[in-house]
Amino acid sequence: MIIGQSAATPTPSDLLTYGAEHLTYEIDMFRHAVELGRRAKDQAAVNVSGELFALHLRNLIAFFWSKRRYPTDVWPRTFARTPPLGQQFKQVIRSPEPS
């Protein structure tokens, strides 16, 4: 289920699946932005990596430190309350940097 495309209220399982995919994506893109900056060979590449870094950092900050406004918001406690996905969350955070 893609959040926002259905009038139906997502189930807790839907929120966990969506949250895990979204969080993994944001962490991966944040890491890729850092690596792009390290490998940048010209100013344009430095600028692009800086903008990507800022964008994905902002999304991660919003996830970890924003208040939950709607029942369908995915936030850290969504994972903490579900032991199997809580472990998956820890693995996402600790996964190695992209090569």
pLDDT in tens, the chain (99 residues): 455 555 578 887 888 888 888 888 999 999 999 999 999 999 999 999 999 999 999 988 888 887 778 777 777 776 666 555 556 556 655 655 555
pLDDT of res. 83: 56
The rounded Cα 15 to chain-centroid distance in angstroms is 13
Specify the pLDDT at position 98: 52
Identify the pLDDT of residue 88: 57
CB-CB contact of 83 with 17 (8 Å): no
pLDDT on residue 1:
44
The pLDDT, as a whole number, for residue 73 is: 79
Domain boundaries, the chain: 12-65+77-89
> Dihedral through CA 52, CA 54, CA 56, CA 61, nearest 10?
180
